Amino acid sequence: MMAGHGRVGDRRGFILIAALWLLVALGGVGVHGALRMQTERLATANALDEARAREAAVAGTEYARSRLTAAVLDLEEEIRAQVQAAAPAGQGRRDRRSVVRTRDPGLDPWREPGGLVLPEMEFGDARFRLELRDVGAAINPNTFGEEAIRAFFSEGLELDYALADRITQAILDWRDEDDLPRIGGAEREDYLRAGRAVLPTNREFGTVDELRHVMGMTPEILEAARPYLTLIPQVTRINVNSAPAPVLRALPGVSAAGAEEIIRLRESGFLPSRTADLLAALPASVAASIEAEGEAFNRQVGFVTLAVEIRAEGWVDGGPATSVVRTVVTRTNQGARVIWREFE
């Protein structure tokens, strides 16, 4: 009898333990299910935030494009006045070119394109931030010639001349259609001998990052050059009314002092529309250096903004996602026409 009662007690104890483990297991399933549902909800919320951030970035792009179009349609001064009036107290500044206009106001409605838009806007909890730049204020390694590219690296970035020349020759060898290396350059066989994994494509560069594979290029040099580079094919001339000093140095006859003088004139409100006007306003020594280059300078210089790059960043307040879209528009008689767009 005692033994029987013991077996019954053992069974009951086993059943109790099994029931407890079942409760633990069911609790674990419940926790897992709750965590999974929470994860799925977070994933859905993040996906919605990403979509809204992307929409905000696209909205910013279209806002900027509409303002650029309006500027072409003779509304430039009105738009700039609106932007100045809407600028937060202490942040707005009067555009000096609106005060000192040395040329026809309608000649370059896209001068300083950032002045045509509000830099940041919000719609409820969605926001976008804009940056606009004249792509004519940059160097195009696909379309610019040997002298301009070498001058940019040697004078603009102040690299050793021999190194600047090697990089220039390698860039030209990378983009040309043959496998014959230039003096100081590099073609397929040179890259193979050096153990390079990426070989010249014998075509134009597809991205600025592709330049990092060019013989002689270093990460440091590329990062220094990056802000001044563009691959937009329409960029074949340097706009002296917008280009920064390192880019101006790529122009024939423009020394460091010359670049400083051109920028000083620009900041004073003087915007030349032709070479003769620029030379007349520069100090004699600077003008003489440019004039000595003659047609070489004229072939590479420009005076108006023909294409603008719009960088729009969109996000939702409190959300983890941001979206960036870069768009390039060119100027037509009807307004701003999109020629290139990329989502980052």
Residue 257 within any structural domain of the chain: no
Question: What pLDDT sits at residue 100?
Answer: 43
Tell me what pLDDT residue 198 has: 97
> Would you say 324 and 343 are in contact if contact means Cβ atoms under 8 Å apart?
yes
Closest CA to 234 of 166, 304, 185: 304
Q: Give the per-residue pLDDT at 87.
A: 76
Say yes or no: 81 and 133 in one domain. Answer: yes
How high is the pLDDT of residue 1?
Answer: 47
pLDDT tens column, 34-44: 455 555 555 56
Classify residue 3: in a domain, yes or no.
Answer: no
Structure tokens given for 257: 């002092």
Q: Are residues 62 and 124 in the same domain?
A: yes
Confidence bin at 318 (pLDDT 50/70/90): confident
Sort 168 into a burial class: Cβ within 10 Å, 0-12 / 13-18 / 19+.
Answer: buried
Is residue 170 included in any domain, yes or no? yes
- Lowest-confidence region among 16-30, 62-76, 168-182: 16-30
Whether pLDDT at 9 is above 60: no
Instruction: Find the CATH number of the domain harbouring 117.
Output: 3.30.1300
Task: Kindly state whether residue 276 falls inside one of the protein's structural domains.
Answer: no
Q: Among 187, 204, 228, which residue terminates a domain?
A: 228
pLDDT digits (tens, 9 = 90+) for 144-203: 999 999 999 999 999 999 999 999 999 999 999 999 999 999 999 999 999 999 999 999
User: Do 131 and 151 share a structural domain?
Assistant: no
Say if pTM beats, i.e. exceeds, 0.85: no
- Domain match, 148 and 224 both: yes
Give the per-residue pLDDT at 92.
47
DSSP state for residue 202 in the 8-state scheme: S
Extract the tokens encoding 180: 């014959």
Which stretch of DSSP H or E encloses residue 15? helix 2-70
196 and 220 inside one domain: yes
Q: Judge contact between 241 and 273, C-beta under 8 A.
A: no
- Domain membership flag for residue 181: yes
Same domain, 157 and 216: yes
| Tally of domains in the chain | 2
**169 and 210, same structural domain?**
yes
| CA separation for the pair 247, 135 (Å, rounded) | 11
What's 237's DSSP letter? S
Q: Do 121 and 163 lie in a common domain?
A: no
**End position of a domain, from candidates 178, 208, 228:** 228
Residues 134 and 171 in one domain: no
pLDDT at residue 191, as a whole number: 98
Which tens digits make up the pLDDT trace of 216-238?
999 999 999 999 999 988 788 99
What the block records as the tokens of 110 is 């896209």
- How many Å is the Cα radius of gyration of the chain? 31
Query: Could you tell me if 51 and 69 are in contact, meaning their C-beta atoms sit under 8 angstroms apart?
Result: no
User: 75-123, pLDDT tens digit by residue?
Assistant: 999 999 999 998 775 554 444 444 444 445 457 999 999 999 999 999 8
- How confident is the model at residue 13, as a pLDDT? 58
Same domain, 134 and 145: no
User: What pLDDT does residue 326 have?
Assistant: 96
Residue 255 CB: number of other CB atoms within 10 A?
Answer: 15
Range of the domain at 325: 52-138+306-343
- Please check the confidence at residue 303 and state whether its pLDDT lies above 70: yes
Q: Is residue 281 part of a domain?
A: no
CATH number of the domain to which 180 belongs: 1.10.40.60
φ, ψ of residue 338 to 5 degrees: the values are -75, 130
Is residue 263 one of the residues assigned to a domain?
no
121 & 189 share domain:
no
From residue 173, give the alpha-carbon distance in Å to each of 71, 141, 169, 189.
Answer: 41, 12, 6, 12
Alpha-helical regions (H) of 155-255: 161-175, 188-193, 219-225, 245-248
Over residues 192-215, the mean pLDDT reads 97
Q: How do beta strands 322-332 and 307-316 pair?
A: antiparallel
Taking a C-beta distance cutoff of 8 angstroms, is the pair 114, 132 a contact?
yes
116 falls within a domain: yes
Task: Give the residue, 323 or 16, on which the prediction is more confident.
Answer: 323
Looking at 174, 202, 228, the residue that finishes a domain is: 228
Looking at the structure, tell me whether residues 84 and 113 fall in a common domain: yes
| Chain segment 244-291, per-residue pLDDT in tens | 999 999 999 999 999 999 999 999 999 999 999 999 999 999 999 999
